[in-house]
Amino acid sequence: MLHFLRQLVFLAALPVCLAGSDSPPVSFRAEIAPLLQRRCASCHGEESSKGGYRVDSFERLQKSGDGGAPPIVSGKAGESELFRLLIEKDADDRMPQKADALPAEEIALIERWLNAGAVFDGGDPARPLAELVRETHLRPAPAHYVRPVPITALAFSGDAKRLAVSGYREVTIWNPAEGTLARRLGGMPQRISALEWNRKKNLIAVAGGTPGQWGTVALVDAAHGYTARFLCDLPEMVLSVAFSRDGETVVAGCADRTMRLFDTGTGKQKRILRQHADWVQSVAFDPGGTRLVSASRDRTARVFDTATWEIEASYQEHDTPLSTAAFSPDGSRVFSVARGRGHVWHPEKADKRGDLDELNGDVRQLATGAFGVAAGCGDGAVRIYQGDGRKPWLTLTGHHDAVQSIATTREGVWIASGSADGEVILWSLDCATWISRFIAVPR
């Protein structure tokens, strides 16, 4: 009888064993590296190495922290400090600290990788983890589009003869007056959240990433073959970008709650600002370049002195997450929008001066020009406001879907708007109507 029971136990366990043997090997490069970058790198990287432990390369990952216990014991997850800290029951000791425990499936993935020998398939063990992660997220753009994609970002060149348009894993360059495609720039982030054209250096800043997994800022040299440099690798999307007036600095607003400043010449990060408690949805300089306004999902907008990067003012009159903010053409006002409700306020006193009426739906972006401030609205209209807002000075209608992006030329004579159905419209303020329109899909 005992022998028979043992056979039953063996047979019951056999399907589980066979299923486990069929499981594909875990790839450090494609699975473990992105997980560590997303969950651990912010506290255990080059900038911050809590407990003396770093995960920013496989080489570093193998070295013990201040506690001395080996983080990785090949073939033995239970003896690996990396795994033990993930399943620690005491929340004060468990990793990640001050956050929820990792999902069970992510812990199981790390356990499988450790028990299978902690195999490294990323080439040089000293390569930064961020480089491995970037390679998994940067893939070719589709040769053909099955359907148009929402236009989430636009930017004019300095001479207004070219318009950069967001695509899927690419940025496309168009002749806006004729609606003809001039160039495709592939190898970009999966989603493009913002574009800005540096008119002094002829550089295009591309912000984006893969939601919840990776984010970056790319600088594309439009003067020399449209070559691209990637300035950062973050665990969350980069949502907005703006160039300083002299073109030497690009500021990025990020979903990891930071604002990051990069030197456009060297590409190096110069400063990190941690003044928001949630996503930084937009960043914009004033016309003189002496101040910058940020808008965050934490329901605040902040004005910074660009000489010191100290906060000059904090606007807290919105009761919902902000989507965007911009200065008026003379810099004397700030226009901000949260869930379709727009305010106009003083950038130093942070006191409200007016409202933006008739926005009619969500507004994702604002654009400033000599004409005033233009808002791309959820009902498909582009509305232009002046002074302290109230009623729009001009309303441009023509889109068949929500406007998701907007840009203006240097002189403010043209406005480009992009909608959720993939259409771009070029508007002339001289005649208050559109002069070209096209579906921004490469053919």
Q: Are residues 128 and 163 in the same domain?
A: no
Q: Are residues 184 and 71 in the same domain?
A: no
Q: Are residues 215 and 124 in the same domain?
A: no
346 found inside a domain? yes
State pTM to two decimals. 0.84
Closest residue by Cα to residue 274 from 442, 20, 42: 42
Closest residue by Cα to residue 250 from 287, 297, 201, 215: 201
Which residues of the chain are under the pLDDT cut of 70? 1-22, 46-47
Q: Are residues 177 and 293 in the same domain?
A: yes
315 found inside a domain? yes
Q: Are residues 198 and 294 in the same domain?
A: yes
Rounded Cα distance between 350 and 336, Å, is: 12
Q: Are residues 80 and 54 in the same domain?
A: yes
- What pLDDT score was predicted for residue 85? 87
Query: 104-110 — which CB contacts under 8 Å span 24+ positions?
Result: 106/35, 106/39, 107/83, 109/26, 109/31, 109/32, 109/35, 110/32, 110/35, 110/77, 110/82, 110/83, 110/86
Q: Are residues 47 and 167 in the same domain?
A: no
Instruction: Tell me which DSSP letter residue 425 carries.
Output: E
Q: Are residues 93 and 167 in the same domain?
A: no
Q: Are residues 250 and 326 in the same domain?
A: yes
Structural contact between residues 263 and 232, judged by C-beta atoms closer than 8 angstroms: no
CATH number, domain containing residue 366: 2.130.10.10
Structural contact between residues 380 and 363, judged by C-beta atoms closer than 8 angstroms: no
224 found inside a domain? yes
18 found inside a domain? no
CA separation (Å) from 66 to 45, 50, 52, 92? 15, 9, 5, 17
126 found inside a domain? yes
Q: Are residues 238 and 373 in the same domain?
A: yes
- What pLDDT score was predicted for residue 39? 82
Q: Which of 111, 137, 163 is the last residue of a domain?
A: 137
21 found inside a domain? no
Q: Are residues 98 and 177 in the same domain?
A: no
Taken in order 326, 252, 133, 20, the sign of the CA dihedral is negative
Q: Which of 107, 137, 167 is the last residue of a domain?
A: 137
- What pLDDT score was predicted for residue 22? 60
3-state SS, residue 426: strand
Closest residue by Cα to residue 172 from 376, 181, 129: 181
Q: Which of 97, 112, 137 is the last residue of a domain?
A: 137
Q: Are residues 431 and 339 in the same domain?
A: yes
Q: Tell me, what amino acid is at 106? A: E
279 found inside a domain? yes
96 found inside a domain? yes
What is the domain count for the chain? 2
- What pLDDT score was predicted for residue 3? 42
Rounded Cα distance between 182 and 94, Å, is: 53
Ramachandran category for residue 276: left, alpha or beta (phi over 0 → left; psi -120 to 50 → alpha): beta
**Parent domain of 37:** 26-137
